[in-house]
A and B are shown apart, each in its own frame.
Chain A
Amino acid sequence: MAGFREAQGDLRLEGVTKTFGDFTAVDGIDLEVPRGSFFALLGPSGCGKTTTLRMVAGLEQPTAGRVMIGDTDLTGSRPYERPVNTVFQSYALFPHLTIRDNVAFGPKRRKAADASERADEALQLVQMASFAGRKPAQLSGGQQQRVALARALVNHPEVLLLDEPLGALDLKLRREMQVELKRIQTEVGLTFIHVTHDQEEAMTMADTVAVMNRGHIEQLGAPEELYDLPRTRFVANFLGQANTGVGTIKDVEGDHLVVNVLGTPVKILRSRSQVHEGDVLFGVRPEKVTVSRTRPEGVGNDVRGVVRDVSFLGVATTYLVDMPSGATWSCYEQNLDVEPLDLRPGDEVWLTWNPGHAFGVPTEDEGSLG
């Protein structure tokens, strides 16, 4: 393989842009993925995450910018010249080849003498060894998915790309495969880049998540960090649920900002707000809000509301509460007490939360803040 590039190291995207005609799918992305990490590109469909992945694979060439692994510039090289393999969304197994020949395809192209043995080892790793002699059409979706994974892993690529690999599986199988993928990634220690629109999938598996929207990276960080302290309105709404309201910053009280949300003053820790004057989108996660019948003392943030709906989930109860501002908040209370709150629609309640749990983001998203 004359043109093959033996690159090693971190994956780096530098100002990568891709346009299709008038449409900009990916708009100047800078990204660094440390070697051996599990990285997720998360975003709604059409946000440019799959295009980004295909540019790393070499299946698309960037309009501008560079794709690097370590010190090797891969921009412009063909897919077969890159130490990168892809697990396609539709699995894309070769229908005319047996499972073993599918997996041995890559090693054979690189003239490995032990292609068949390596294929069998890889099939062992994904627990599909007993299906080696079958054709792809004889396997279920979940099994094909494992084979597609083995077919990529067998090559020990420097970077493994996963394009919504679990999208076609049912919920139970998806959960199993999430755990399985994480196990395999830890075992083989390769860089995994996982593209998904499922925020739960991204958060359970990845060390680092990049949230993409309209060709930009909105925010990048550990899943806990993104959830706990979103920096843009889009991230706040896309990752999990958030109770939000637009307000104006009125005052500063020590470490806290006082925000007037439609007549109700609430506090945000200064360091947890991206905006320090003018309009701000205030938000707090449903599980951070406590529901009580009486007004608690000294919490700092409390709002009165009327219960609209109560859903008992077993481990927890979700309350929908109409706020004086006209918004409806959702509150998630763990059922720790033997004696339930016994709230019904129409009951008046107090909602409280720790100001250190709220966050403030700009009211409108503009460009990349990643």
Chain B
Amino acid sequence: MSALAHVAGDPGLEPAAAAPEVKRRSWTAYLLMLPGVLWLAIFFLLPLVQLASVSLQSRYPGFPGYYYRDLNFSNYASALTDYAPHFARSFLYAGLATFLAFAVAYPLAYAMAFKAGRWRNLMMICVIAPFFTSFILRTFAWSQILADEGWVAGVLNFLHLLPNGHIINTPIAVVAGLTYNFLPFMVLPIYASLERADPRVIEAGGDLYANGFTTFRTVTLPISMPGVLAGTLLTFIPAAGDFVNMELLGPQRGKMIGNVINDQFLAVPGGYPVAAALSFTLMAAILVLVFLYIRRFGTEELV
């Protein structure tokens, strides 16, 4: 308390020699921030402004690939009307993948935090190991695993669990790929929040007449909510914008919004303004969803 008052006190009462010291320290903070701020300004803010201006440009009729500066909001209108199903599909697949990743990750993180003992480090390495190879390579591997000749499709077909005989090039494969690829981003924050929890707090649940399941529901799960929240955001946000899983594992028709943006930029002549408008719409939609989500489930620790 007294230390606080000391810091917050009138600087005029401090010895004169202390003043330059304080000033130098505040400059140090700005200097330390400078590289990061510059980096973000050049490689994030500037492109964002550029993208915003592209999203409002108009084409020269008859000259595909040429644009002039404009305030053409029809790009946004066509982005929303033409591609609404793609947005819906993206959020559905990302939502499913997030839910599945949570269902797989929570028990895994729980086991690592409370039951693994000396196996904990090994399990941690197994969770992180996929980061040592490229995301694209691993997704290619999945296209082999899920191929019609592969054992997964073989077993499922043997059990008559696949309606049309395929698993590759179906939405199931896309959701499975998304779930797999973002799993570590779900496991690690949940693990961190469980590992940090005081085991005595969980014991206290049992001591106060809550059986194992009730203790989990009323104590353990709420305590780990900051980790769950972080994990779901880290999974949902990149999954909603992802196009690699759809490209490599998904069907020809019924693409996700990431694929549309990719095609508009790289394949469709004159697609730049629509691609930029789609990007901004996706960003805005995710921001709104995340905001609503945090409002509903957020805790002081995270926000």
Interface residues of A (CB under 8 A from B): 1, 4, 57-59, 78-80, 84-86, 88-90, 92-97, 105-106, 109-110, 151, 155
Contacts and interface: CB of A to CB of B under 8 A. Distances in A.
Contacts of A57: 207
Given A89-B200, A96-B225, 14 more contacts: A59-B203, A59-B207, A80-B207, A88-B204, A90-B198, A92-B203, A93-B204, A94-B205, A95-B201, A105-B205, A105-B218, A106-B208, A109-B208, A109-B210
Contacts of B211: 78, 80
A79 B201 contact: no
A110 B223 contact: no
Contacts of B203: 59, 79, 86, 88, 92
Interface in B194-241: 198, 200-201, 203-211, 214, 218-219, 222-223, 225
B214 A94 contact: no
Contacts of A96: 222-223, 225, 299
A95 B299 CA distance: 11
A86 B208 CA distance: 8
B212 to A, nearest CB: 8
Q: Which of A4, A79, A88, A93 has the most CB of B within 10 A?
A: A79
Contact of A85 (B198, B201, B207, B223): B207
Contacts of A58: 206-207
Interface residues of B, number: 19
Contacts of B205: 94, 105
Contacts of B225: 96
Given A79-B207, A94-B219, A109 B201 contact: no
Nearest to A106: B208
Nearest to B209: A109
Nearest to B208: A106
Contacts of A89: 200
Nearest to B203: A59
A197 B214 CA distance: 34
Contacts of B222: 94, 96-97
B201 A59 contact: no
Contacts of B201: 92-95
Contacts of A110: 209
Contacts of B218: 105
Contacts of B219: 94
Nearest to B211: A80
A230 B199 CA distance: 38
A155 B200 contact: no
Nearest 10 pairs of A and B residues by beta carbon: A92-B200, A109-B209, A106-B208, A79-B206, A92-B204, A96-B222, A92-B201, A80-B209, A88-B200, A86-B207
6 contacts: A4-B209, A59-B206, A80-B210, A92-B198, A94-B201, A97-B222
